[in-house]
Structure 1
């Protein structure tokens, strides 16, 4: 597992209840377990925990809220952060539930993350809004994000005049379509800054929109510290001071991406075809920060992780089943040794500094310049 330092047994023993189910759907007694798997903290501790109906890390106004999730975190320094990003309906929440270890056969237990239902599909709505966090008994922090390239997200934020109800840059008003695109970039930049592992999910093998988005994220992620950076302890640090800190530490931090292509048809499941897609993926990102040196010192870079999950509806599998593909992905993520932050940091400080990084993302001059370029291109008009 990707860790940030030695574990803290005393803090883990007193860990608040972990989150097991979708907020506002069940009572605290149903969605929490104690650190040993049974029971949990006493009633006095439970009374101090916020309602999980309000745990979303991002508000409707695109602001980061640390106080909602903070009571569920500890001073433990041995934890892993796994985020996910992708378009609607590709199975992001299902993958996160699998990594969590949710057993869908358990009667009466709702999944940690809501999954798309027939009603959601019929209403053309999305399940996840902003960033929804959960934490496991193994201290794995899971971040499920709202879909990118989502018509329902765009519909929720567009005014009658075509402008956006959400200010992605301060109080500046932008065309809704432009703001919608920038929101996806901002989410990607944040996840690659504060996570150890980021799952990048696409549907089928022919959709490379997520590849393009992550290439843009790599292009625009500049001068952003990781959550353990001491510069975040000083709110008045200038952009130059933050940049100098990053240069002192060496390479700019970048989470390890795991690319996942879901809902593959049988014709796209041949191993030989997967080899070609993996080769294309590594060539596509060969000049980006995702391209890491070989661990054995060889001249060839370490290949990027890419997984394929077939359609669940397939009753017969010539190559690999839907369930075995999910289990293989889960095992890989749980065993990965992702990049470590530059310094040891606790769960609580990770969250507080993640909020500060979000402000840096929203105030990024690099992303702002990219926004101006798109605006001046004439592609986004009211």
Structure 2
């Protein structure tokens, strides 16, 4: 008994040292294999003890200990053994987890992919959590290659950012009829877009209407509109505000193209008085101005889903001749659209034609009379009878509940026509007119207009425009950036068109 009693402490100490050496060979130094400084704190008191036994139960209950295998045995982990704080399963799974703590399962790839080094991990050394959770996707069952090719969080966040918001319009075509590339930075690689262009004579209100349809309201100051309208000084000297083609895209991915006035006398006057040099293919200034207008109109007929024709009185026959000429000179564009809405001809499938909306701006009260409205629709239908442009069947004022007493079949030949009244101050003028009478009670009633308010009409027009069909512009589906490059090629082709050159030669 005494022999065994004297040899027992020595044997126990020798067996303990052997176990420690074996543990050192298997797992290395304590600072390398035991995860975290908490394990070091638990291990050091046991080194200072004598040969007496100390049960490890109370120490394990205080802080859970996670052991890590050496790098040589980490290639074939078991299903229940954690590696670097993240379990590796045989079956590959996709895991999305917020980075809450670096030592818990579901650790981001930055912490899970790092092998166990001689010291604690980076997050444990810092002793703090990240300020914001970072979400990542990792294939846990594909090994180290999947961890190294994890998705960059900055790339994923950049794809979720909203597109850059424009505050004002920029040039797509400058006053020298040259293409500008500054609009490409606002476009994205997505196909759900609508392109709306506008043409009209000088002073008809094109820029104001495009601003109201895109980003502004009638209550705002016109000096802050995205498309600059004519100032009072420009109106008094008979000048024009817009030159070339202006570009603006909304957050709803609607592209608006505002243009200089068609057949503008102020542009012709500027050419003559400033002795500007004409291109060599043009001999007379008025020929150059007309060809500029035809180039812009033919360009819009090719790259737009909707083209708004603005008039401030009904109606100018020269404007309809101009539309038919621009349609004749439009470059041929193959279209994969099978939409045959409107009075399209048999060869509508071979070429693309946009939807045309005739907007009567500054309409009077008599224009809203149902009889006059019917006459205007019949006149436009007869003038555009031989056109391939889609001028009917896609916009209706009767659907807007503007004329509640009229049935849907009142207009036998309803074209894409919309009426906008004069923009005026609806409050003070009506109170002044009504209060000037002998009945002061009438001052509390709104004045009779014969139509809804201007802001209401603009809202109804905007809803109708945004609901227009988005036909395919070319033989392939275009993204926003592809549309920009496609439009640049169309503009270059329009400027070099042999048909337009021959037509300008005949005008001389």
Equivalent position SS for 1:142: strand
CA contact (8 A) 1:202 1:210 kept: no
The alpha carbon displacement at 1:207 in A equals 2.7
1:289 and 2:422 equivalent? Answer: no
Equivalent position SS for 2:172: coil
Give the TM-score taking structure 2 as reference length.
0.55
Q: 2:323 aligns with which of 206, 211, 214?
A: 214
Q: 1:304 aligns with which of 415, 422, 446?
A: 415
Give the TM-score taking structure 1 as reference length.
0.72
Q: Distance in 2 between matches of 1:194 and 1:133?
A: 13
The alpha carbon displacement at 1:335 in A equals 1.2
Q: Distance in 2 between matches of 1:277 and 1:79?
A: 32
Q: Distance in 1 between matches of 2:234 and 2:393?
A: 44
Q: Distance in 2 between matches of 1:85 and 1:372?
A: 24
For residues 90-148 of structure 1, the C-alpha deviation after alignment (integer angstroms, 9 at most, x for no partner) is: 11111111211413545898211111221221232222111110110001111011111
Q: Distance in 2 between matches of 1:59 and 1:108?
A: 23
Q: Distance in 2 between matches of 1:281 and 1:320?
A: 24
For residues 213-264 of structure 1, the C-alpha deviation after alignment (integer angstroms, 9 at most, x for no partner) is: 21111122242457x99xxxxxxxxxxxxxxxxxx99421111111111112
Q: Distance in 2 between matches of 1:263 and 1:310?
A: 5
Which residue in the other structure is 1:44 paired with? none
For residues 309-339 of structure 1, the C-alpha deviation after alignment (integer angstroms, 9 at most, x for no partner) is: 1222496412344333222211110111142
Q: 2:196 aligns with which of 82, 95, 109?
A: 82
Residue 373 and residue 109 in structure 1: after superposition, are their counterparts in 2 closer, same or farther (change >3 A)?
closer
Q: 2:269 aligns with which of 155, 159, 174?
A: 155
Q: Which has the higher contact order (CA 8 A, sep 6+)?
A: 1
**More displaced, 258-267 or 179-188?**
258-267
CA contact (8 A) 2:306 2:354 kept: yes
Tell me which structure has the larger Cα radius of gyration.
Answer: 2
Unaligned runs of 5+ in 1: 1-8, 23-54, 230-247, 296-300, 376-382
Matching of residues 55-70 of structure 1 within 5 Å: 55-65=170-180, 67-70=181-184
Residue 365 and residue 339 in structure 1: after superposition, are their counterparts in 2 closer, same or farther (change >3 A)?
same
The alpha carbon displacement at 1:197 in A equals 0.6
Q: 1:165 aligns with which of 257, 277, 280?
A: 277
Matching of residues 1-382 of structure 1 within 5 Å: 13-14=160-161, 16-21=163-168, 55-65=170-180, 67-105=181-219, 110-158=224-272, 165-167=277-279, 171-224=280-333, 250-291=349-390, 303-313=414-424, 316-341=448-473, 342-375=475-508
Residue 12 and residue 86 in structure 1: after superposition, are their counterparts in 2 closer, same or farther (change >3 A)?
farther
Q: Distance in 1 between matches of 2:302 and 2:172?
A: 15
Residue 344 and residue 119 in structure 1: after superposition, are their counterparts in 2 closer, same or farther (change >3 A)?
same
| Aligned pairs, number | 306
CA contact (8 A) 1:20 1:111 kept: no
Residue 85 and residue 74 in structure 1: after superposition, are their counterparts in 2 closer, same or farther (change >3 A)?
same
Equivalent position SS for 1:155: helix
Q: Distance in 2 between matches of 1:362 and 1:368?
A: 9
Calculate the aligned-residue CA RMSD, in Å: 3.1
CA contact (8 A) 1:224 1:357 kept: no
The alpha carbon displacement at 1:174 in A equals 2.6
For residues 314-365 of structure 1, the C-alpha deviation after alignment (integer angstroms, 9 at most, x for no partner) is: 9641234433322221111011114222321111111111011011111112
Which residue in the other structure is 1:37 paired with? none
Equivalent position SS for 2:307: strand
Which residue in the other structure is 1:43 paired with? none
